[in-house]
Structure formats: structure tokens, C-alpha cells
């Protein structure tokens, strides 16, 4: 059969929208990926003794049995990596067909890449939960055998194939019902392809006797093979290669199929005078162009449609004059005839400009470009270039890069590694974790994969979240300037600088950042941003979700997350990245917990399969050395050896922010017998203040700077805020300065604004450059009062876990004050003083002191309640009020509010406290955890029994061992 011969029924059914294409490995092979045989051969090479001629499903099963599921999936991912590959011309021809449903057995993302490059909306459907996103207004790409981006979805072993109907019944039934009224075309399946035979069997089971026919494209297939397929109900389109490659032949055939199908297609409805409406599939380009113009306030008139071409005029009054442009939107290639036709549009308005817009600049012929260049008022551009020109995006991107380059991050950047949890089908618990050496390479793949819309980047303080945002935004910005057609515009927003009060408004956040911070010309405001976001043009990067407010309650946190999540719109390939400290997110089974009769809502990702998380990893030795090389040059190895000689310094260096501080202060640290976080922060801040004095950049001496920072941090802590407005600084300084210096308050205020550890946002709020500095200065202030035997500040408010750690470090350096703390713990009048002293002492690691703390908690109900509240707050990640209710003991030592929890919630409590009961860093928290677990043994016997066995081997505190023995005996009796 010639490449120009098309079965009549195939053309008719595809033209009427009744066509479905099944895509096999042959199409991906043309882009450089292995076919099925090549993929399986790679596995066989690692399986000595594999039976010859074994079925590909059995070979994969043998490999899984020998090496495990994770290695099997990783081998497949390595072989099918598309990071450096591009879709072929055949892929683009396939995307041009008038079909709304593609089904593929391929694991790769080349189809999704194609639709993204063609700017055609599509939805990837892999799991049953994805079926909820099935939509008739966009192409569905059903990956029936799984997706590399979702490792648990991959179907490759014999067991996987056997379970597909039971694991994905909703998806299989939906496909079966759809295919009963469609004509199916198989592309990329060879006669020997095992997937083709399996698919035919599955489709027969689901759809019964087909109302429509099945077609398969083959190349020079032998007659007997053709008869075999026809016996199975498949009509073979047997194309003759005639000296051409299969790719070239299939490209010609698909192009002809599209042309024939369009002839049989249902005529597009007559256009309305209002402008493009998006109804016809071949007028999407005009809809995009006119949509942006309307969002920017232009009037769109004079609409004229013809096959593949839409003409209209756009006008707008601006600064007293009228802007008038004539537009021609061309769906396919742009030839000189298109230019001549566009020039004719100007006859009625000779002064107007003519803009010709195509999907990509590569479809414009040289003749057309030359013809347009001959006319000064005629321009040809791609849709991406149109966006770029209309909004002057270059000005914003260049401003972003200028600010980035001023920070000199490039010279100190080291690639960050990350872990990405892979969840089970309910997203209730991670099945496995994938590790990536370069988080930015992972994000590149994530951006290029449709259906993956929101990424939460989690990490503890100092792990590099903010630098990652700035570095990656700069990387995306440079790519955009080089090639705007295949790259998105990064929109970088610091949330810490934005939100005041209890809530955030996404529209105000976006427009304020773009217009006020970067001076972007944004006519239409948020509507313009929304339009670009819906059309795959942006990557929104939101940095510092956890630092928006100091202590929001849980509901406010969820409301803010949901407000920010509005940028991920349904049925659009939006991309949003958000950074946060780890404790804000979890993917537990419960979306709403009920504690003590009141609702506690958590951020829950289970119902949002397009929302994902990754965790930044601490630096390893290689990264530490690489970072030191950036910081101290050829002295890196010597610095690293010096660090190894100082207690715990290498461990502290695993966080980029602390490593930079270590490198800056290492010569002074080497002399310390013991280095901890407090030593490091103190040395670094002292060095910074000394440098300011030497360079005469401060009118305050080091003592004044330190004291003022401590007072500001303490004031923010008591007010439960992370910032102070500039208008409050003079009052704070007057309270701080002695009467003899009060006349110089304005000089001091200027010094604070420009030289202290504070930074200012655009609204005039000052905050510490990093949250850890605030916690350190609070600890310094409290420790100074401890040294002065003044318990007032320690009795004023319950301190945080991080602040306690800093105070503990300072206390161990001057252990003569431990006796004062013990006295306050036992005899202090205020319960807050007693619990704060107990919390700090419990972290010292001293066995005798630990026993004293446990004895206090055993006899002092008020202290026990506050201490347990803090542990529940940290372990269960609930708001403070809910933790306090759960920790209350109104009658005796029982926790009655545990009885208000559901069985699933009790199981979660037991699981988390079993982990805490083995926490080697806090023996008192272990004691409280064991006491709580005594009351829930009936819901998690096996898990508690396993925990007790481990605890018995490692516990060194007598009180804890006694609890472990008693709980073990109870379980034995009940068994």
C-alpha cells in the first residue's frame, strides 16, 4: 500500500472525532529509545542463566526476584531517560490528528512533550484517581502500563500484567466503554511486539464484539503475518517502504490521514461577532492571541475565519492615542501567500501594524520572512514571541538576573541532592524513596512532564531552600532569553516579604510582586497573569511558606496553602514550586482530624495527585569539599581536615548556611574543645560585629549591637511575630538607649537599618536575615539572665525546642550554672519557669539530671502537662491548643481525650510515639512517650511489642527501663 492510501472508514471516523490511537514503542524508538526487545535484552545481560526464549514479562519478573523492584524500575528509567531527547516529526504529525484520546503502553513522556511543544492541552491519565481529571475539552493520554514519573504505576512483570484489571478497574472500564464506539489505530507496534497481542486480548475482554474496526500500521509485512492479525480482528495498513525509512513513510501517511480526516470533519460553527471562542480545534492559536489581547484591555473586532487561518483587528486607547493592529493567526506553516493576505488587511487602516502569529518560528518559510521584512510595519512571530513582546518580559527577566548576580550566588553554588517519596495508590504512606544527585535536573524533568503541577520543596533550616529558588529562577530566566519558545518564565516571590496578618491573597501577591517590585507592564492585572499561567508560559516559585507569619493556627495555615494553590488551575499544565520547613506537610490518611471534639484540619496531599513533595538532603562529604572549594579555594582540603578535628563540626557543616559560617570563622573555632551550634553562631556573629567596627561601618560597639539584637528578638518572641515595622524602631531604641544617647536615636536607627542582622521588606517590616538568628539571640538573652541568677525571663513564656537547644549548648560550656537551673526546676514558683528549666536540662544528656527531670514530671502535674503538650505538638504536628487538650489529665494520669480519636487516628498516634520512644536525643520525651503508649496498647500491639524489644536493648535510663519491663509484662499476660 502506498503511503498516500488511506482506508475510507479510517478517514471518516477520525474526521468525525471517533478515532483513538494506540501508541507503541516503535514511535519512541525513532527518538532514540530502545524498543521492547532492546529494553528486555538489557535486563537479560544481568541475568545469567535466564531461560532462552522466555516471555518478556517473565524476564522482568526474574529480574525483580533477583534484584528487587527498586532496581528493576531504576534500570527501566535509565534506559528510557528522555532528558536529552526530543520528539520526532512523527510525534508532531500524530499530535496534529483530530483525536481526543491516545492510549500508550510506553513509559516515557515523549507524547506529553509533543503536546506541550505544540501548545495543545492534554491530560495524562495513569492511575484510577487520574480518571477524575478526564475531560472532553482536551486530549487524554492514557498510559495504560504506567509512567516513569510514577514508579509504582509501571506494568512490566507477569504479576503486574495479571493485576492490571484488579488494580485499575475504573480506568479499564472507562476505556472499554469508550472503545466500543471508536475506531482504533495501532501505531508503533511491530508484528512481534508482545504488547500488541496482550492489548488485543484485553480489549476483546473489555469491549466484546467491536462496533468499530481495529487498524494497525505495518511496514512490508509478510502475507501470513497480515492474515494472522486479520484473524484477530485487525485490519492491516501494510505500507511499502520503497527505499524510505519507516519514520519517513509513517510521517507521509499520517500527514495524508490528517488531510483526509479534515475533509470528513464536522464543519466549524459560524463565528460570532464577539471574537474567537475556542470552539474549533484548528483555531486554538487565534483563541490564545485574542485571549491575551482581551485580558490586556484590547477590543478584538472584524473576526474572519478560514481553514487554518484567522484574521482580526485589535485596538486600544493608551495615553491619549489609539493602538491599532491587524492580526493573522496561522495554524500551520507560514508561506509568502499568508503574508500577502495579511498585508491586504491593512487596506482599510493603512497606518496599522500587521502581526502574523504562528505556533513556532520554525514553521515560517524563508520567502515569507523576507516578504515581511520588506514591509516595516509587518512582523512575523511565534506565540511565545508574541507574549514576550506584548508584556516586555525581557525587562522583568533581566531585572531578576541583575538582582541574582548582585548576590554572587553562582560563585558559591553547589548542586543540592534530594529525596522524592513514591507513594502507594492511596498516597497514605511512601512505598519507596528515589534519590537524585541534582535537584535542578529533577525539577527540569518535572516541568517538562504534563500533569505534574505543584512541587513542595521541604527541608530544615539552612539546607539551601532560598538559594535553590534564586539559582533555579536564574537558570530558567537565562534559558528563556535564549529560547522563549521552549522555556517558561520564572516568577520568583519571597513569601516572607509579602504576607501580613492571618491570610494571603494570591491576586494581590502576584500583581504586587510583578508591578511594584519588578516594574512589569501588566495591563489587565491578575487576569493577564492568569492567562499566561493557563497557557504553559510560567513557573511560579514561592519561597518561604513557613515564614509568612510567626505562629498561625492550623486552619489559617491550611487556608493560606489553599489560596496559594489556586495558581494550579484545573485542566491546565500550570507549574508551581513552594518551599517550606518540613513540619508543615504530611500525606496521612486523615484529611481532617478531630481532637477533643474540635476539627483540626491539616494540609493533605492525598486528594491532590498532581501535588508532590521532595526533601532536600544535607551535604555529603563531596558537597562539603566542593562548597569549601568555592569558599576558600585551594585551602579546602586543609579546612576539611581541621573541621574533622573539632567535635561535631563536620556534622554541622552538612547544612549550607552553617558551612558558610564555619568557613568564615574556622581559624577561631579550631581552638575550642567543644563546638556546637551555639559556639558557631556566637563566633560568627562576633566576627561580623568585629569586622564592622574595624571598617568603621557602625557607630554602635559590639556589646550594643548584641544587646539590641537580643532585645529585638525577645520582643518579637513575646509578641509572637517574626518582624517589626520601621515605625516601631525609634520607640524600641529609646527604650534601649541610655538617656545620654537618646539625642542620637536617628543615627542609631540608621545604623540598625543598614548594618544589623535585620533585613527589610518592601512594606517596611524588618526581620532577622534567618529565623535561626532570632532563636540564637533569644537564647543568648535568656542565658545571660541565667548567669545573673535572674529567673524572670525564663518564667515569662514557654521557649521553643530550637531555643532550648541553643541554651543547652551555652549551659554545657559554663556548667557551673546547672545547679541554678536544677533549683528553678524543682522550686520555681511559676510553672513556666519549672517546665522551661526541665526542658533545657533534659537535653544535656546527663543521666542523673535526666532522672531528676523525670522525677519532677512524675510528681508535678502542671509541669508534666506543659512538657507533654510540647512533645505532642512536635511529634503529631498539631496546633498547640489541640496538643494541650490531648495532653490534659483531668482525673489521675489517664489521657481521656485519646478516647475521642478514631481507630485510624489512634493508630497514627501509636506509630509516631513508637518512633519517639526510641529517640536517642531526649530521654524525658522517651519516658512521656512510653507513658502515653501504655494507654493505646490495644490498638497497636505488634508495633509496640517490636518497639519495646529495640528499646530494651538501648535504654540506659532506669525509669524508662522500668516502664519498658512493665509494658512488656502486660503484653505477655494479655497474649
**Looking at the structure, do residues 947 and 963 belong to the same domain, yes or no?**
yes
Residue 598 pLDDT: 31
Picking from 594, 617, 640, the residue at the C-terminal end of a domain is: 617
| Model pLDDT, residue 1 | 55
- Is residue 641 domain-shared with residue 560, that is, in the same domain? no
Of 233, 169, 224, residue with least CA distance to 191: 224
Residue 788 lies in a domain: no
User: What's the CA gap between 569 and 557, in Å, rounded?
Assistant: 20
- Name the grid cell of 242: 520503497
Q: How much of the chain is helix, strand and coil, in % rounded to 5?
A: 55, 15, 30
Residue 527 CA to its chain's centroid (Å): 24
Distance, in Å, from the CA atom of 53 to the CA atom of 794, rounded to the nearest integer, reads 76
pLDDT at position 486 over 90:
no
Residues 938, 182: Cα–Cα separation, whole Å: 55
Cβ atoms of 189 and 156 within 8 Å: the answer is no
DSSP letter, residue 619: P
pLDDT tens column, 351-396? 788 999 988 777 788 888 898 998 888 999 998 899 988 888 888 8
- What is residue 698's predicted lDDT score, i.e. its pLDDT? 58
| Total count of domains within the chain | 6
Instruction: Quickly list DSSP for 192-220.
Output: T-HHHHHHHHHHHHHH-S-SS-EEEEEES
* Residue 469, SS3 per DSSP: helix
What DSSP designation does 232 have? T
Confidence category of residue 164, pLDDT binned at 50, 70, 90: low
Distance between CA atoms of residues 772 and 656, nearest Å: 13
pLDDT higher than 80, residue 447:
yes
3-class state of residue 791 by DSSP: coil
Q: Which pLDDT belongs to residue 96?
A: 87
The answer to whether residues 73 and 117 belong to one domain is no
pLDDT-derived band at 603 (thresholds 50, 70, 90) equals: low
- For residues 405 and 527, state if they share a domain: yes
For the record, the C-alpha cell of 596 comes out as 477533643
Strands 309-318, 321-330: parallel, antiparallel or unpaired by DSSP?
antiparallel
Place of cell 570563622: 665
DSSP string, 860-902: -HHHHHHHHHHHHHHHH---HHHHHHHT--SSTT--GGGGGS-
Model pLDDT for residues 892-906, shown as the tens digit of each residue? 667 888 777 777 788
Count Cα neighbours of 190 within 13 Å in the Cβ-side half-sphere. Answer: 11
3-state secondary structure of 494: strand
Say yes or no: 523 and 570 in one domain.
yes
C-alpha distance from residue 221 to each of 225, 226, 228, 229 (Å): 7, 7, 11, 11
Predicted local confidence at residue 460, as pLDDT? 72
Phi-psi group of 522: left, alpha or beta (phi > 0 → left; psi -120 to 50 → alpha; rest → beta):
beta
Q: Does any domain span residue 782?
A: no
- 939, pLDDT greater than 90: no
Place of cell 519478573: 61
Distance between CA atoms of residues 863 and 865, nearest Å = 5
Does the pLDDT at position 516 exceed 80?
no
Of 391, 417, 451, the residue that ends a domain is: 391
Do 266 and 17 contact (CB within 8 A), yes or no? yes
Lowest mean pLDDT among 402-411, 634-643, 742-751, 856-865: 742-751
Task: Establish if 796 belongs to a structural domain.
Answer: no
Residues 706, 702: Cα–Cα separation, whole Å: 6
Residues 6+ apart with CB under 8 A from 570: 133
- How far apart (Å, rounded) are the C-alpha atoms in residues 869 and 882? 9
Question: Among 532, 550, 548, 552, which residue's Cα sits nearest to residue 540?
Answer: 532
Apex CA 9: angle with CA 7 and CA 15, to 5°? 105
CATH of the domain at 113: 3.40.50.1220
Cell 558558610: give the residue: 660
* Angstrom distances, CA of residue 482 to CA of 197, 202, 262, 520, 850: 46, 47, 36, 20, 62
Which CATH number do you get for residue 520?
Answer: 3.40.50.300
Distance, CA of 28 to chain centre: 28
The yes-or-no verdict on residue 550 having pLDDT over 50 is: no
State how far the Cα of 55 lies from the Cα of 53, in Å rounded to an integer: 6
Percentage of residues in the chain with pLDDT exceeding 70? 79
Q: What residues have CB less than 8 Å from 321, skipping those under 6 apart?
A: none
* Among candidate residues 391, 409, 432, the one where a domain is terminated: 391
Same domain assignment for residues 361 and 465: no
Evaluate if residue 273 carries a pLDDT over 60.
Answer: no
Q: Which domain holds residue 74?
A: 34-82
Whole-Å CA distances, 219 to 20, 190, 194, 197, 244: 20, 9, 17, 18, 11
Rounded (10°) angle between helices 958-974 and 847-859: 60
Q: State the Cα–Cα distance between residues 482 and 721, nearest whole angstrom.
A: 43
Strand partners, 604: 586
Ramachandran angles phi, psi of 306, nearest 5°: -145, 165
Question: How far apart are alpha carbons 254 and 89 in whole angstroms?
Answer: 10
- Provide the whole-model pTM: 0.55
Residue 52 lies inside a defined structural domain of this protein:
yes
Q: Indicate whether 596 and 659 sit together in one domain.
A: no
Residue 660 domain-assigned? Answer: yes
E-strand ranges in 486-537 read: 489-494
Instruction: Report, as an integer, the average pLDDT of 580-591.
Output: 46
The whole-chain average pLDDT of the chain stands at: 80
Instruction: Show Cβ contacts of residue 959 under 8 Å, excluding neighbours closer than 6 positions.
Output: 851, 854, 855, 927
Cα(737)–Cα(708) distance, integer angstroms: 9
pLDDT for 472 equals 97
- DSSP single-letter state for residue 784: H
Residue 851 has pLDDT above 80, yes or no: yes
Residue 416 resides in a domain: yes
Given pLDDT bands bounded at 50, 70 and 90, which one contains residue 189? confident
pLDDT of residue 428: 47
Per the DSSP assignment, residues forming a β-bridge with 217 are 237
Is pLDDT above 60 for 256? yes
Residue 500, class by beta-carbon neighbours within 10 Å (0-12 exposed, 13-18 middle, 19+ buried)?
middle
Decide: residue 415, CB within 10 A, 0-12 exposed, 13-18 middle, 19+ buried.
middle
Residues 624 and 655: their CA atoms lie apart, in Å, by: 9
Q: Compute φ and ψ for 101, nearest 5 degrees.
A: -140, 120
- Vertex 630 angle, CA 629 and 632, to 5°: 65
76 plus 112 within the same structural domain: no
Residues paired with 490 in a beta bridge: 539
pLDDT at 583: 47
- 418 shares its domain with 454: yes
The pLDDT-based confidence of 128 (bands split at 50, 70, 90) is low
Q: 327 near 314, Cβ under 8 Å? A: yes
> Confidence band (pLDDT; 50, 70, 90) for 492?
very high
Same domain assignment for residues 251 and 240: yes
Residue 657 has pLDDT above 90, yes or no: no
Whether 98 maps to a domain, the answer reads yes
Is the pLDDT reported for residue 438 higher than 90?
Answer: yes
Of 403-417, 501-515, 715-729, 867-881, which has the strongest mean pLDDT?
403-417
Grid coordinates in use for 885?
487538650
Residue range 672-699: mean pLDDT, rounded: 69
801-813 vs 831-842: helix crossing angle, rounded to 10? 70
Residue 223: how many CB atoms within 10 A of its CB? 9
In this structure, the number of other CB atoms found within 10 A of the CB of residue 197 comes to 15
Give the SS3 label for residue 52: coil
Measured from the Cβ of residue 789, the count of other Cβ atoms closer than 10 Å reads: 10
Q: Is residue 235 part of a domain?
A: yes
DSSP secondary structure string for all residues of 322-390: EEEEEEEEESS-B-HHHHHHHHHGGGS-TTSEEEEEES-GGGB-HHHHHHHHTSTTEEEEEHHHHHHHH
Are 568 and 638 contained in the same domain? no
CA dihedral 903, 906, 910, 916 (to 10 degrees): 150
For the ranges 25-39, 161-175, 477-491, the lowest mean pLDDT is seen at 161-175
Alpha-carbon gap, residue 213 to 774, rounded angstroms: 71
CA 725 – CA 731 distance, rounded (Å)? 11
Q: Are residues 522 and 440 in the same domain?
A: yes
Q: How confident is the model at residue 551 (pLDDT cuts 50, 70, 90)?
A: very low
Distance CA 750, CA 588 (A): 49
| C-alpha angle 373-378-381 in degrees, rounded to nearest 5 | 85
| Residue 10 CA to its chain's centroid (Å) | 42
Higher pLDDT, 697 or 857: 857
- Region 138-164 average pLDDT: 83
| pLDDT score of 226 more than 50 | yes
Higher pLDDT, 53 or 953: 953
- What is the C-alpha to C-alpha distance for residues 447 and 109, in angstroms, rounded to an integer? 12
Average pLDDT value for residue range 108-136: 76
The three cell numbers locating residue 645: 578535628
Amino acid at each position: 500500500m502506498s503511503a498516500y492510501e488511506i482506508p475510507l472508514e479510517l478517514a471518516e471516523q477520525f474526521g468525525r472525532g471517533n478515532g483513538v490511537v494506540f501508541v507503541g514503542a516503535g514511535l519512541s524508538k525513532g527518538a532514540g529509545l530502545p524498543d521492547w526487545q532492546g529494553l528486555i535484552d538489557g535486563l537479560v545481560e544481568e541475568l545469567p542463566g535466564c531461560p532462552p526464549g522466555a516471555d518478556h514479562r517473565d524476564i522482568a519478573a526474574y529480574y525483580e526476584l533477583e534484584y528487587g523492584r527498586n532496581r528493576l524500575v531504576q534500570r527501566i528509567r535509565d534506559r528510557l531517560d528522555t532528558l536529552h531527547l526530543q520528539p520526532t516529526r512523527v510525534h508532531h504529525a500524530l499530535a496534529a490528528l483530530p483525536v481526543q484520546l491516545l492510549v500508550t503502553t510506553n513509559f516515557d513522556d515523549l507524547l506529553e512533550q509533543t503536546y506541550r511543544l505544540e501548545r495543545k492541552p492534554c491530560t495524562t491519565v495513569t492511575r484510577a484517581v487520574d480518571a477524575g481529571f478526564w475531560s472532553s475539552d482536551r486530549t487524554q493520554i492514557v498510559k495504560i502500563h504506567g509512567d516513569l514519573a510514577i514508579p509504582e504505576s509501571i506494568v512490566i512483570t507477569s504479576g503486574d500484567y495479571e493485576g492490571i484489571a484488579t488494580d485499575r478497574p475504573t480506568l479499564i472500564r472507562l476505556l472499554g466503554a469508550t472503545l466500543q464506539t471508536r475506531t482504533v489505530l495501532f501505531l508503533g507496534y511491530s508484528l512481534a511486539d508482545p504488547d500488541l497481542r496482550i492489548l488485543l486480548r484485553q480489549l476483546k475482554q473489555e469491549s466484546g464484539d467491536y462496533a468499530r474496526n481495529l487498524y494497525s500500521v505495518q511496514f512490508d509485512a509478510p502475507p501470513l503475518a497480515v492474515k494472522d492479525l486479520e484473524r484477530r480482528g485487525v485490519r492491516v495498513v501494510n505500507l511499502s517502504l520503497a527505499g524510505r525509512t519507516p519514520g519517513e513513510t509513517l510521517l507521509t501517511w499520517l500527514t495524508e490521514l490528517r488531510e483526509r480526516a479534515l475533509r470528513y470533519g464536522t464543519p466549524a460553527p459560524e463565528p460570532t461577532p464577539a471574537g474567537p471562542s475556542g470552539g474549533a480545534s484548528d483555531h486554538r492559536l487565534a483563541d490564545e492571541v485574542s485571549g491575551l489581547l482581551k485580558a490586556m484591555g484590547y477590543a478584538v473586532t472584524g473576526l474572519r475565519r478560514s481553514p487554518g487561518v484567522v484574521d482580526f483587528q485589535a485596538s486600544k486607547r493608551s495615553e491619549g492615542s489609539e493602538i491599532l493592529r491587524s492580526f493573522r493567526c496561522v495554524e500551520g506553516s507560514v508561506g509568502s501567500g499568508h503574508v500577502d493576505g495579511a498585508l491586504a488587511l491593512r487596506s482599510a487602516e493603512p497606518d496599522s501594524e500587521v502581526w502574523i502569529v504562528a505556533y513556532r518560528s520554525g514553521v515560517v518559510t524563508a520567502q515569507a520572512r523576507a516578504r515581511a521584512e520588506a514591509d516595516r510595519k509587518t512582523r512575523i512571530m511565534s506565540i511565545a514571541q508574541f507574549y514576550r513582546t506584548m508584556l516586555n518580559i525581557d525587562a522583568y527577566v533581566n531585572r531578576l538576573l541583575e538582582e541574582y548576580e548582585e548576590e554572587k550566588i553562582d560563585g558559591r553554588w553547589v548542586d543540592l541532592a534530594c529525596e522524592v517519596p513514591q507513594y502507594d495508590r492511596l498516597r497514605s504512606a511512601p512505598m519507596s524513596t528515589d534519590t537524585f544527585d541534582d535537584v535542578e535536573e529533577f525539577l527540569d524533568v518535572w516541568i517538562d512532564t504534563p500533569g505534574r503541577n505543584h512541587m513542595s520543596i521541604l527541608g530544615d533550616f539552612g539546607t539551601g531552600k532560598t538559594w535553590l529558588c534564586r539559582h533555579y529562577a536564574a537558570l530558567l530566566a537565562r534559558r528563556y532569553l535564549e529560547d522563549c519558545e521552549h522555556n517558561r518564565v520564572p516568577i520568583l516571590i519571597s513569601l516572607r516579604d509579602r504576607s501580613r496578618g492571618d491570610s494571603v491573597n494570591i491576586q494581590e501577591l502576584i500583581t504586587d510582586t510583578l508591578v511594584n517590585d519588578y516594574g512589569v507592564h501588566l495591563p489587565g492585572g491578575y487576569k493577564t497573569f492568569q492567562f499566561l499561567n493557563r497557557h504553559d508560559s510560567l513557573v511560579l516559585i514561592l519561597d518561604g511558606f513557613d515564614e509568612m507569619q510567626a505562629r498561625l493556627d492550623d486552619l489559617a495555615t491550611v487556608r493560606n496553602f489553599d489560596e496559594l494553590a489556586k495558581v494550579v488551575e484545573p485542566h491546565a499544565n500550570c507549574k508551581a514550586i513552594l518551599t517550606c520547613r518540613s513540619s508543615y506537610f504530611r500525606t496521612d490518611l486523615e484529611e481532617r482530624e478531630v481532637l477533643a471534639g474540635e476539627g483540626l484540619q491539616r494540609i493533605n496531599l492525598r486528594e491532590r495527585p498532581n501535588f508532590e513533595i521532595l526533601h532536600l538532603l544535607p551535604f555529603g562529604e563531596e558537597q562539603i569539599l566542593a562548597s569549601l572549594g568555592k569558599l576558600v579555594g585551594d585551602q579546602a582540603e586543609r579546612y576539611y581536615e581541621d573541621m574533622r578535628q573539632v567535635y561535631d563540626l563536620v556534622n554541622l557543616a552538612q547544612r549550607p548556611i552553617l558551612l558558610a559560617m564555619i568557613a568564615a570563622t574556622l581559624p577561631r573555632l579550631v581552638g575550642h574543645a567543644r563546638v556546637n551550634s551555639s559556639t558557631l553562631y556566637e563566633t560568627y556573629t562576633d566576627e561580623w560585629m568585629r569586622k564592622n567596627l574595624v571598617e568603621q561601618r557602625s557607630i554602635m560597639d559590639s556589646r550594643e549591637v548584641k544587646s539590641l539584637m537580643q532585645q529585638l528578638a525577645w520582643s518579637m518572641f513575646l509578641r509572637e511575630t517574626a518582624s517589626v515595622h520601621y515605625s516601631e524602631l525609634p520607640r524600641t531604641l529609646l527604650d534601649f538607649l541610655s538617656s545620654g544617647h537618646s539625642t542620637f536615636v536617628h543615627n542609631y536607627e540608621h545604623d540598625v537599618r543598614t548594618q544589623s542582622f535585620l533585613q527589610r521588606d518592601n512594606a517596611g517590616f524588618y526581620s532577622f536575615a534567618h529565623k535561626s538568628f532570632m532563636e540564637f539571640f533569644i537564647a543568648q538573652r535568656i542565658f545571660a539572665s541565667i548567669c545573673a541568677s535572674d529567673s524572670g525571663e525564663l518564667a515569662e513564656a514557654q521557649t521553643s525546642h530550637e531555643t532550648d537547644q541553643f541554651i543547652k549548648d551555652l549551659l554545657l560550656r559554663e556548667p557551673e550554672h546547672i545547679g541554678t537551673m536544677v533549683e528553678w526546676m524543682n522550686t520555681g514558683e511559676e510553672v513556666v519557669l519549672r517546665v522551661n528549666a526541665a526542658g533545657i536540662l533534659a537535653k544535656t544528656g546527663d543521666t542523673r539530671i535526666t532522672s531528676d527531670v523525670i522525677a519532677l514530671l512524675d510528681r508535678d502535674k502542671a509541669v508534666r502537662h506543659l512538657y507533654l503538650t510540647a512533645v505532642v505538638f512536635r511529634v503529631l504536628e498539631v496546633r498547640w491548643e489541640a496538643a494541650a487538650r490531648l495532653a490534659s489529665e483531668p482525673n489521675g494520669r489517664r489521657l481521656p481525650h485519646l478516647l475521642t480519636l478514631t481507630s485510624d487516628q489512634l493508630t497514627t498516634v501509636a506509630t509516631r510515639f513508637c518512633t519517639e520512644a526510641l529517640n536517642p536525643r531526649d530521654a524525658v520525651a522517651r519516658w512521656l512517650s512510653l507513658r502515653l503508649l501504655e494507654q493505646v496498647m490495644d490498638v497497636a500491639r505488634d508495633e509496640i511489642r517490636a518497639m519495646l524489644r529495640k528499646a530494651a536493648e538501648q535504654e540506659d535510663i532506669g525509669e524508662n527501663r522500668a516502664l519498658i519491663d512493665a509494658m512488656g509484662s502486660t503484653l505477655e499476660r494479655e497474649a
